[in-house]
Amino acid sequence: MKKIALQAATVIALTATALSAQSEIDADGDGMLSYNELLAAHPSMTEENFIAIDTNSDGAVDADEMKLAQEAGLLPTEG
């Protein structure tokens, strides 16, 4: 039971980190991150990297994609 609680806490913490990082760099406040917004926060961002992060190919990165990118090491967990 403690292991499940720890895993849940970890998921919540990662989600909160992703949302916090996302809101800090979301220049237009639409809740999504464009390539230019991510590039401003991460100058080494490439278009290919952005495409890999944008898993649903909608041209923007949402909180779930941000969390997955951080977990995969495609983005640092802190801006």
d(CA 9, CA 74): 22
pLDDT of residue 11: 41
Burial class (CB in 10 A: 0-12, 13-18, 19+), 39: middle
Architecture of the domain whose range is 2-71: Orthogonal Bundle (1.10)
User: Would you call 28 helix, strand, or coil by DSSP?
Assistant: coil
Q: What is the pLDDT of residues 18-60, one digit of tens each?
A: 444 567 899 999 999 999 999 999 999 999 999 999 999 999 9
pTM higher than 0.75 = no
Q: Where are the domains of the chain?
A: 2-71
